[in-house]
Amino acid sequence: MNSTQKPQTPIRDTHNANPASRQGLKPVRRIAGMPDKQPQKIVRYKGPMDRVFLILVLILICFGSVMVFSASYAYSMSKYNGNGYVYISKQLINVLIGLAVMFITAKLLDPYTLRKNVGKLYFVTVILLALVLVIGTIGGGAKRWIMIAGFSVQPSEIAKATIVFMLAAHFEKHSEKIMSPKSTKESLKFGLLWPLMYTGIICLLVVLEKHLSGTIILFLIGIAVMWAGGTDARFILIPGFAGGTVLTVLALLIPYTKRRIDIWLNPTNDLTGDGWQTIQGLNAIGSGGLLGLGPTNSRQKHMYVSQPQNDFIYSILCEELGFIGAVAVIMLFVMLIVRGYQIAKRAPDTFSSLVVIGIVSKIGLQAAFNIGVVTNLIPNTGISLPFFSYGGSSTIVLLAEMGVVLSISRFSRQDR
């Protein structure tokens, strides 16, 4: 256990009181340092949430909010008749709601309650994704939102967490069959085919929204949880190759994505059109130099980078804070992910471990994709930068996920 986390109340493992039903407590195979054998007597300890992870989350969300204000001010002034505080006002409301949800989740939700309700959550998520196709609202040229009680909700953001929870529950329930060296058929069925079905249904619905970047992230989240859950690496190569092929074909066949690939390869061919955002983002990064132009001093946010508070906020950060600031943000993400994996390592059971691995892997994937887009290493995919990009439901869902990780960090397992 972490030295900063003093165990408080011992909680007997009533969830798997029957020794014959303890397969759910089998530790994740690929987490170093976890025992291979299931102990006969287990006591769960409930202590305080992980302070290091909490501090990193708070630093990132505060840093991100400051950057939303700086990046959005000029654009907001232009769009809202001299009012430069529209976006930051909305973002602060979203952050406050998200933080409240995070702390409530961390304090009141335990992994066992979450495990019991993953099937219901998966069903609701599928319904929401289907409703987007029927009654969805259009924003930024894409139909990816629905209105619920007056609030705009993006179900694909909820789907990222749902995939993690559903696969984590599946791998806990069938861990013995998945890792069985005696039956390749069972390993293939429960380690590959069922997880691909759960992931594929959601990916298909998101593809129908013409949200290819979201589909890629969802697919990679599924692969990450499958690998950590014990699916044979040889099996993972099959969906990896097939999924990569399908996504490549779709990208080349859909005119919208094909255009983005053309612009990625030759952004200067359309300087005043689709290549504008990429070129201006690169200009912002190059203008920052080592130390940057200083907070709030970006030039490119003055109607050069389109909607700079969204996907290209990292380019404004680079311009204002320079190379040092850009690296500092990457290091904050790295520390958060590493700390998350440490929480997963000492989590009380397979389900909890895989949930944490899936959530922090999602953050790492999104951050890597966003920075890759801004620096033109990959085509523009429309993926936001966690904690930094302006967003409503995405910010609240992200902080709720952080609450889940903090909740799991309060539980540890001690063998007797």
Q: Write down the pLDDT at residue 197.
A: 94
Mean pLDDT of the chain: 84
Q: What percent of the chain has pLDDT over 70?
A: 86
Question: Does 14 or 380 have the greater pLDDT score?
Answer: 380
Q: Give residue-wise pLDDT tens across range 79-111.
A: 999 899 999 999 999 999 999 999 999 999 888
Q: Write down the pLDDT at residue 209.
A: 85
Q: Give residue-wise pLDDT tens across range 47-74.
A: 789 999 999 999 999 999 999 999 999 9
**236 confidence band (pLDDT: 50, 70, 90):** confident
What is the 3 state secondary structure string of the chain? CCCCCCCCEEEECCCCCCHHHHHHHCCCCCCCCCCCCCCCCEEEEECCCCHHHHHHHHHHHHHHHHHHHHHHHHHHHHHCCCCCCHHHHHHHHHHHHHHHHHHHHHHHCCHHHHHHCHHHHHHHHHHHHHHHHHHCEEECCEEEEEEECCEEECHHHHHHHHHHHHHHHHHHHCHHHHCCCCCHHHHHHHHHHHHHHHHHHHHHHHHHCCCHHHHHHHHHHHHHHHHHHCCCHHHHHHHHHHHHHHHHHHHHHCHHHHHHHHHHHCHHHHCCCCCHHHHHHHHHHHHHCCCCCCCCCCCCCCCCCCCCCCCCHHHHHHHHHHHHHHHHHHHHHHHHHHHHHHHHHCCCCHHHHHHHHHHHHHHHHHHHHHHHHHCCCCCCCCCCCCCCCCCCHHHHHHHHHHHHHHHHHCEEEEEC
Q: Write down the pLDDT at residue 192.
A: 87
Question: Does 263 or 12 have the greater pLDDT score?
Answer: 263
pTM of the model: 0.85
Q: What percent of the chain has pLDDT over 90?
A: 56
Q: Average pLDDT for residues 381-404, to the nearest whole number?
A: 92
Q: Write down the pLDDT at residue 3.
A: 43
